[in-house]
Structure 1
Amino acid sequence: MSAKPFPQLSTEQEKELTTNLLQWTLGNGLVMYPPNFETYQANTAPITLFPTPIPKTSFIRAQEVQKLFNELYINVITKDKNWFLSILEDLSKHDADFTGKLFEVYKKSTKLQPLSLGLFRSDYMVHQDTNEIKQIEFNTVSVSFGGLSTKIGQLHQYLNGTGQYDDKYNYKYYDDDDEIPVSTSITDLAQGLADGNLHYHNGENKKSTVVLFIVQPNERNCFDQRHIEYALFNNHGIRSVRLTLEEVGENVTVSQDKLYIKSTMDEVSVVYYRSGYAPSDYDINPEKTWDARLLLENTLAIKCPSVLTQLSGTKKVQQLLTKKDVVSKFLPNASEEELSKILSTFVAIYSLDEADDDSKQAIELAFQTPEKFVLKPQREGGGNNIYKENIPPFLEKLDKKDWGAYILMELINPPLHKNKIIRNNEIYHEDIISELGVFGTTLFNEETGEILTNKNAGWLLRSKFSTSNEGGVAAGFGCVDNIYLY
């Protein structure tokens, strides 16, 4: 089955659609703060006018493997800890200023709370040669746009249902809501935090404690986070408090290893990180921010994620998990069909660490055919990757001993679609490529490996101009999109 073309509207119809779209977004919270904002100001988030086609088979496969990926990363942390810690020890030497400091926090921590909460997201592109999804990365900390993903699905369903995509009779352009489904990520991610609160109280449904959101200063994407916060309260009666890492030391207190908000003495059940995933989150005031991370780690509050869980999302771990024998080791109970499904999502990823047997081949590929690859550091967030022809000169500037801080990843060849993107009241009509993210939540015991919850939690589609290498929406590279299944 082939996809329908995008709706073709007259200039006047598109103008009316855009007005209605912008007013819907402002009325329903599909917004971000603009740069240099005042707190009363909000802009429509960068979004697409129409949903973008994704093959239904690709979407289903991404849904099918999410819980397997959740389990895989849990088992990396818990089933052979010496192996995992040796990887982190080595990475700490290559990336001392960030991975090394996170690992130091882990080593200094008293590990009072064995439970760790994961709000994860696995990101894919459709490889157009085969229509298979191929994994870009697995994110273990501060996964974003679960809130806005639900909102743009609701927007596109509204525009379709009210006939604004039809150029003649105000009929639905897409046949039914199943073709342009709404992500359940707001409610599902809030449920994940509620699961953490529940197990903090040993299975009792108590609402006396709060969830502490650790956020960036002047967070432009706070509405995405707020939607989850509001659902946490509306659906579960659990309140939230927001602090930056720099504010933690002065605003919390610890008594008998329990974490409290100093001003109200509310007990914190879950610390939810929407910050702390990049060096810039600590560079504001390194002493305060790194001390804050250790302080929080050294409490009985359940961390989402713990430092060790965050470190499982390093690109080195992702590279090692493309090997069948490693995946089989950490998913011993998976069927051959399940292993085949998860392995089918991988592209070739190489280590540049001289201690790795395959590094010599990887270095040759990086210099001889760089146009086929992307170079990735052990970092999260947009703007960190080195692409194609920029790889050789970048590596030449580095000391060879620092190459091990990077992995070399085969580029995916996604299909192009000529959708329309609206950003700051300007409409762009260009070829775009799209990235599908599938959310998952899981609560597990880092000491015993027991998995208490493991769930899918909705999805996200982000798109960007095909001429842009990077894809971060908040970083200014892309937009929030919605899926049209065909």
Structure 2
Amino acid sequence: MKSFPQLSPENLEDLKVKAQQWSLANGLVMYPPDFQTFNVSNAPITLFPTPIPKTAFEQAQSIQKTYNELYSKIVGDKKWLIDEIKQLSQFDPEFTGKLFEIYNKVNEQGNFQSLSLGIFRSDYMLHDGKDIKQIEFNTVSVSFGGLSPKINELHTYLNDSGSYDNDYSYQYYDTEEIPVSSSIKKIAEGISKGNYYYNDESDNAKTVILFIVQPNERNSFDQRHIEYELLKTHKLKSYRLTLEEIIENTTINGDKLYIKKTMDEVSVVYYRSGYGPGDYPNENCWDARFQLENNKAIKCPSIITQLSGTKKIQQILTEKSNLSKYMDQETVEEISKTFVKIYPMDDSPEGQIAKKLAFEQPENFVLKPQREGGGNNIYKEDIPGFLKTLDEKNWEAYILMELINPPVHKNTIIRNNDIFNNDIISELGIFGSIVFDETNGDIKYNEYSGWLLRSKLATSNEGGVAAGFGCVDGIYLY
């Protein structure tokens, strides 16, 4: 493994300026807080790619289609999934419970679209420096597929221009050592397949894609790169609406969803919002989610697919007996290699062990609720005190997960105009796209869709880039 490039202060400053200007010129950007629409800054990034073993990287890539298929089969096998979601709804009535209510209401009314589109991301860390271990499987609003290729292209530019060599302006890395993610092209391709199957297996460019976004979205450029690829390569137009804008700006006619202003027919509803209670500040937003679900447009994801990504389902799937219902034994063994131990926090024998470990060995665990997005987890020594603030009957809403021990690297992060040379740890996300039938799990399309590396300070528990915890990173394969 090569060491990180060592640059003089003058060369490092030059590198920073090159990185900033390339980022602004090529869309590796985010809006700052309290932004105006013409005012952007470079996304938080590393100046150098971070080492990842090639074998671990290839293993994570090779298993993604298997994960896609697993979750399609879980959704297709609704009975036990619905039973689990019903249980979770008791502990989280204001979010999981409301989503589940909408799911039931839509099914009662019969406007159910059986085809479902998943843009998924499986997140891993390297445990003890070599084995990939899954942190979580994301089924809704997976981000940074648009910025990941950009950071890879930036690192390639800096390497090819000789900016990583302190003396002679030579390439520091071999070209094949710093790969570029295909996530923009592949995610857009996955969404276009949703449009294709909505239109009875026809490449109909008259229907449109509806992005559901957050108000004042700072990460809109990550999303726009997907939108631009949809138009450029697949001739598909896109619209962007927040949940609060849905009722006023869309209409349903003959079970189909339309944009009111143009009467464009929506083929795919693509959620880049809607994954947490903060996205539903009022009943109008919940009414909007019902309207979006209650029509024939293909959802990415549908409510039931979104809920299949809860931490409780992840915990259940770490048990080989449950995995064996959906895949052969060889595949069970292969996928199980990516798991760390996850315990329920219920009254089962495993749950009793978890409750004991949470108080006696909290430094080895993270406590996770059934929520997406950064900032929700409870780490290490904070776990006992947090649990004491809850009624024990509500502990069941959480899972207790073994902490992964990732390698630490000293990389250089740039955020706005500040440079930080710090110890970092990294998280590898692998994207996948799938179109499947929710009534039986039959798969129409299933593909690996690129990757993402995010890094954060080794002293930070949380890792969300948009939330201010981490940065977008690139890979050096060794």
TM-score by length of structure 1 reads 0.97
Shift of 1:111: 4.4
Shift of 1:340: 2.1
Please give the residue correspondences for 1:96-107 in structure 2 after superposition, counting only pairs within 5 Å. Answer: 96-107=93-104
Q: Which residue in 2 is equivalent to 1:321? A: 317
Could you list the per-position Cα deviations for residues 289-335 of structure 1 after superposition, in whole angstroms to 9, with x for gaps in the alignment?
Answer: 0011011100000000000000000000000000111111112xx45
Shift of 1:343: 0.5
Please give the residue correspondences for 1:102-121 in structure 2 after superposition, counting only pairs within 5 Å. Answer: 102-109=99-106, 110-121=110-121
2:422 paired with 1:411? no
Matched to 2:409, the amino acid is H
| DSSP 3-state at the match of 1:371 | helix
Shift of 1:82: 1.1
Could you list the per-position Cα deviations for residues 71-124 of structure 1 after superposition, in whole angstroms to 9, with x for gaps in the alignment?
Answer: 111111113x21111101100001111111111111111342100000000000
Q: Which residue in 1 is equivalent to 2:161? A: 162
Does structure 2 retain, via aligned residues, the 8 Å contact 1:470–1:477?
yes
Q: Which residue of the other structure, out of 232, 257, 260, is the alignment partner of 1:259?
A: 257
Shift of 1:339: 2.4
| DSSP 3-state at the match of 1:96 | coil
Could you list the per-position Cα deviations for residues 193-233 of structure 1 after superposition, in whole angstroms to 9, with x for gaps in the alignment?
Answer: 10000000011111001100000000000000000000000
Shift of 1:239: 0.3
Separation in 1 of the partners of 2:349 and 2:279?
35
Matched to 2:12, the amino acid is E
Runs of 4+ in 1 over 3 A off after TM superposition: none
Shift of 1:186: 0.3
Q: Which residue in 2 is equivalent to 1:92? A: 89
Q: Which residue of the other structure, out of 366, 369, 372, is the alignment partner of 2:361?
A: 369
Q: Which residue in 2 is equivalent to 1:140? A: 139
Q: Which residue in 1 is equivalent to 2:416? A: 424
Q: Which residue in 1 is equivalent to 2:269? A: 271
Separation in 1 of the partners of 2:128 and 2:477?
15
TM-score by length of structure 2 reads 0.98
Q: What are the ranges of 5 or more consecutive residues in structure 2 without an aligned counterpart?
A: none
Please give the residue correspondences for 1:75-474 in structure 2 after superposition, counting only pairs within 5 Å. Answer: 75-79=73-77, 81-109=78-106, 110-128=110-128, 131-176=130-175, 178-283=176-281, 286-331=282-327, 334=328, 336=330, 338-354=331-347, 356-474=348-466
Aligned length: 475
Does structure 2 retain, via aligned residues, the 8 Å contact 1:115–1:302?
yes
Could you list the per-position Cα deviations for residues 341-386 of structure 1 after superposition, in whole angstroms to 9, with x for gaps in the alignment?
Answer: 21000000000022x3311100000000000000000000000000
Separation in 1 of the partners of 2:329 and 2:356?
36
Does structure 1 retain, via aligned residues, the 8 Å contact 2:50–2:476?
yes
| DSSP 3-state at the match of 1:330 | coil
Matched to 2:370, the amino acid is Q
| DSSP 3-state at the match of 1:39 | coil
Shift of 1:415: 0.3
Does structure 2 retain, via aligned residues, the 8 Å contact 1:46–1:424?
yes
| DSSP 3-state at the match of 1:419 | strand
Does structure 2 retain, via aligned residues, the 8 Å contact 1:61–1:341?
no
Does structure 2 retain, via aligned residues, the 8 Å contact 1:430–1:465?
yes
| DSSP 3-state at the match of 1:401 | helix
Separation in 1 of the partners of 2:168 and 2:470?
33
Separation in 2 of the partners of 1:385 and 1:54?
26
Q: Which residue in 2 is equivalent to 1:14? A: 12
Does structure 1 retain, via aligned residues, the 8 Å contact 2:455–2:472?
yes
Report which stretch shifted further, 14-23 or 105-114: 105-114
| DSSP 3-state at the match of 2:462 | coil
Does structure 1 retain, via aligned residues, the 8 Å contact 2:268–2:298?
yes
Does structure 1 retain, via aligned residues, the 8 Å contact 2:412–2:422?
yes
Could you list the per-position Cα deviations for residues 428-478 of structure 1 after superposition, in whole angstroms to 9, with x for gaps in the alignment?
Answer: 001000000000000000012210011000000000000000000000000
Does structure 1 retain, via aligned residues, the 8 Å contact 2:111–2:255?
no
| DSSP 3-state at the match of 1:253 | strand
Matched to 1:345, the amino acid is T
Separation in 2 of the partners of 1:406 and 1:242?
34
Report which stretch shifted further, 425-434 or 338-347: 338-347
Q: What are the ranges of 5 or more consecutive residues in structure 1 without an aligned counterpart?
A: none
Separation in 1 of the partners of 2:295 and 2:111?
8
Matched to 2:422, the amino acid is E
Separation in 2 of the partners of 1:463 and 1:38?
28
Separation in 2 of the partners of 1:311 and 1:174?
42
Separation in 2 of the partners of 1:175 and 1:222?
33
| DSSP 3-state at the match of 2:209 | strand
Over the matched positions of the two proteins, sequence identity in percent amounts to 62
Could you list the per-position Cα deviations for residues 17-66 of structure 1 after superposition, in whole angstroms to 9, with x for gaps in the alignment?
Answer: 11111000000000000000000000000000000000111101101110
Does structure 2 retain, via aligned residues, the 8 Å contact 1:212–1:272?
yes
